[in-house]
Structure 1
């Protein structure tokens, strides 16, 4: 099934989830590496690649949110406690919000940095909404890094919650994100 149902995630939602999961985890690791590479001639190149992938992550997140708004969200099992429903809603909203915030802060850093990171893989220039300013660039970068760590913590909570659903509750909530036929509960 392509679209979501009240009991399972559709293939497009699953693809968005796993592509973004791999991209975000990869970007956090790559960003950490880029920031810990000693100053060298190709550092700008690596930071440009990081920015290019960040623009893609932002675009995919917006598309994912549009897709999510146009599709039903699979319900948690009927026997789920109210606190787990609230926690799930808050954690998913925080994941979306912080992912977008990290990407937008990176984009703001790009425009404030001189030279900027607007060249998208050499194909075209991404419009920048900030202007060159060394102090602002440092501030945007510091916040970009801070919220990347917040995002990493939220991802850890998400993975722990998925493991809890899969191994402790055994309610198939986590397996719905792996296969479309896993949408039914036992």
Structure 2
């Protein structure tokens, strides 16, 4: 386990890389409306959203493996039990989001009959799911709803870090810097 007061360097890098990727994923999907349907720019925004989301999916596996190997440094001073419980719940929710959302996005695209190309190629990924417009619509709604909920979860994560740093004055934030 971790004897250092900070997370292992690889975990810190993965945390900030994934934070940046998630920001770009959200920007890409929210700003796609700036571009006309069928335009190259809108296609690029959608492909960015899709492939960066899948990148997050693959990075989270790597991150979880390193987290299991290196552990987490303790918060100093120690958290009250109720705060530690909320912290664990919040982190489980974030990791579930990182895993579930890309799978939902992929399933949505495939059931909608979308052709998914490997980036910068004309190679299409075969869809293992038959197109089903009704299912695609349901999956897209679920994907969008969870995405909206996670604006709040991500916001609470950031606010908790600021609270710990400025109000509680513990080392929660410094462990990840």
Tell me the TM-score range normalised by the shorter chain.
Answer: 0.7 to 0.9
Aligned residue for 2:136? 137
Mapping of 1:86-101 within 5 angstroms?
86-101=85-100
Paired residues of 2:164 and 2:172 also in contact (CA < 8 A): yes
Report the Cα offset of residue 133 of structure 1.
1.8
Residue among 25, 28, 37 paired with 1:27: 25
Moved more, 164-173 or 128-137: 128-137
Structure 2: give runs of 5+ residues left out of the alignment.
Answer: none
Report the Cα offset of residue 33 of structure 1.
1.6
Q: Which TM-score applies when normalising by structure 2?
A: 0.88
Q: 1:18 to 1:124 in 2, by over 3 A?
A: farther
Moved more, 109-118 or 99-108: 109-118
Mapping of 1:1-186 within 5 angstroms?
4-5=2-3, 7-34=5-32, 37-42=35-40, 43-122=42-121, 125-126=124-125, 128-178=127-177
Moved more, 122-131 or 24-33: 122-131
| Aligned counterparts of 1:133 and 1:44: Cα–Cα separation in 2 | 22
Q: 1:114 to 1:35 in 2, by over 3 A?
A: farther
| Aligned counterparts of 1:24 and 1:39: Cα–Cα separation in 2 | 23
Q: 1:12 to 1:79 in 2, by over 3 A?
A: closer
Report the Cα offset of residue 99 of structure 1.
2.0
Paired residues of 2:164 and 2:173 also in contact (CA < 8 A): yes
Deviations 1:77-135 (A, max 9, x none): 35421101101111011111012111111111121122322434427555644322222
- In the alignment of these two chains, the number of paired residues is 176
Q: Report the aligned-residue RMSD.
A: 2.2
| Aligned counterparts of 1:59 and 1:34: Cα–Cα separation in 2 | 24
Paired residues of 1:109 and 1:138 also in contact (CA < 8 A): yes
Q: 1:170 to 1:12 in 2, by over 3 A?
A: same
Structure 1: give runs of 5+ residues left out of the alignment.
Answer: 179-186
